[in-house]
Amino acid sequence: MRIDILALFPEMFEGPFSHSIIKRAVENNFVEIAIHDIRDYSTDKHRRVDDYPYGGGAGMVLMVEPIARCIEHLKSERPYDEIIFLMPDGEPFNQEMANRLSTAGNLILLCGHYKGVDERIRQYFITREISIGDYVLSGGELPAAVLCDSIVRLIPGVLGDETSALSDSFQDGLLSPPVYTRPADYKGLKVPDILLSGHEKKIYEWRHEKAMERTRIRRPDLLK
């Protein structure tokens, strides 16, 4: 998989992509991530990429031309399964969407900023608009990092244990059940006996029951 990210602040990805799972996935050639500074595609001598909105109003708008040049350049080199715009008014991101995107070959992620991008970019280039929640951030860099993390960890081989991602919350429409590790007894708080029994079928049934119980209490909307 290859992920190309278009952003105004490429340095914001240095932390998230320099550690843990994404770092190992890149080093082991499971994914290639390229970050492009939108300002590099400006023809303005000051590398300007934003301007005032037509019709007035507060804030600035990202211009069509620099973003279009970048996307057209990338599309001339390879086909893309999706060109995704990260914005608060996109469709809510969820695990099912992450699963589907993890099977893609090539993705472009466009990070919004200021008051957004010129609508013509959304009309002519964007194939999907995604939001990570009903709130507003300063830009799309953090949502793009979230998207990458959730997708890359699902690529076969990245986690090592192929069953690990399958037991995550939301994979089966439920929250994950409680988990425990050593010691078996911490100040009188004991690990449930069933988990120490070695009885695989009963452990599975206990976990499913606890997952249902936790989902019913915390996220009853998922059971609908």
Answer yes or no: are the C-beta atoms of 95 and 134 closer than 8 Å: no
Residue 114 has pLDDT above 90, yes or no: no
Considering the entire predicted model, what is its pTM? 0.89
- What is the structure's pLDDT at 172? 78
Residues 6+ apart with CB under 8 A from 191: 180, 184, 185
Runs of H (alpha helix) within 56-167: 64-77, 95-101, 119-124, 141-152
Q: What is the pLDDT of residues 172-208, one digit of tens each?
A: 789 999 999 999 999 999 999 999 999 999 999 999 9
* Token pair recorded at residue 30: 């499971």
Q: Domains, the chain, ranges and CATH? A: 2-152 (3.40.1280.10), 169-223 (1.10.1270.20)
Q: What is the pLDDT of residues 148-173, one digit of tens each?
A: 999 999 999 999 765 566 556 667 78
Q: What is the pLDDT of residues 137-147, one digit of tens each?
A: 999 999 999 99
